[in-house]
Chain A
């Protein structure tokens, strides 16, 4: 009973998150300007973090948690560096 509930809700949630990643990728590739692309990349990183967390719940292992933490940190650094490039034209001055 509880296994069926979890399997189906995890399937639906992963489908939702995959669609969300597709929409973010659309914004990243088609964004009219550069800041739209950076925003799409940031949202893509966030949705990947959430997808990895649901994968960890599905497998019952805590190894996915560390991957999700690393992806969240990489997303932060990447977005800050890209925003700096948009602002000043270079990262390290």
Chain B
């Protein structure tokens, strides 16, 4: 630890609050990854940590280094930008692969598709998708 003694208390409190919030969000996301039942439910939980959790810890880092070095330190924005851009891409690819594998295997875990029929949202059964009934209804 270097230089915390001459750090103002308000900056230490702000940094601590953001760090604790970010770490708690990451822990909650990982508990969701551990506890939830199906893959399609589990894929939602870690995004809590990858958006707000990383954001909080990066804000804490920015505040800490800006106060300690008495000049703005904003290179943490690089990580924030990178994580924000890449997380949706990776999870989209992963869920598409999982959906492809589950459909090829005929698994019962596959969630149904959603369409808009006459302005209302309707849930299509997975068997209808497989036999192509929903395509006829859209025409």
A84 close to B93 (CB less than 8 A)? yes
In the complex, chain A residues whose CB is within 8 Å of the CB of B76:
53, 65
Interface stretch of the complex, out of B51-59, B115-123, B131-139: B51-59
Sorted nearest first, the 4 A-B pairs with minimum C-beta distance are A2-B12, A9-B16, A13-B23, A20-B30
The reply to whether B57 and A53 contact each other, CB–CB distance below 8 Å, is: yes
- Give the residues in chain B near A53, CB-CB below 8 Å: 57-58, 61, 76, 79
B1 lies within 8 A of chain A by Cβ:
yes
Complex Cα–Cα for A39 and B12 (A): 34
Report B133 CB to chain A, min CB distance, Å.
26
Residues in chain B within 8 A of chain A (CB atoms): 1-5, 7-9, 11-13, 15-17, 19-20, 22-24, 26-27, 29-31, 33-34, 39, 42-43, 46, 49-50, 53-54, 57-58, 60-61, 64-65, 68, 73, 75-76, 78-79, 82-83, 86, 89-91, 93-94, 96-98, 100-101
* B12, A57: Cβ atoms closer than 8 Å: no
A2 to B90, CA, bound (A): 39
Q: Do the beta carbons of A76 and B54 come within 8 Å of each other? A: no
Residues of B contacting A13 in the complex (Cβ-Cβ under 8 angstroms): 19-20, 22-23, 57
CB atoms of A58 and B94 under 8 A apart: no
Residues in B whose Cβ lies below 8 Å from that of A16: 20, 23-24, 26-27
Q: Bound complex: CA of A15 vs CA of B49, how far in Å?
A: 15
- Mark each residue of chain A from 48 to 66: 1 if its CB lies under 8 Å from any CB of chain B, else 0: 0110011011111110010
CA distance A33 to B58 in the complex (A): 33
Provide the bound-state CA to CA distance between A83 and B76, in Å: 28
Name A residues whose Cβ lies closer than 8 Å to a Cβ of B: 1-3, 5-10, 12-14, 16-17, 19-21, 23-24, 26-27, 33-36, 38-40, 42-43, 46-47, 49-50, 53-54, 56-62, 65, 68-69, 72-73, 76, 79-80, 82-84, 86-87
Given the interface pairs A35-B39, A83-B97, the reply to whether A56 lies near B90 with Cβ below 8 Å is: no
Contact B54 A46 (CB under 8 A): yes
B83 touches A47 (CB 8 A): no
Q: How far is the CA of A27 from the CA of B41 in the complex (A)?
A: 14
Cα–Cα distance between A54 and B7 once the two chains are bound (Å): 17
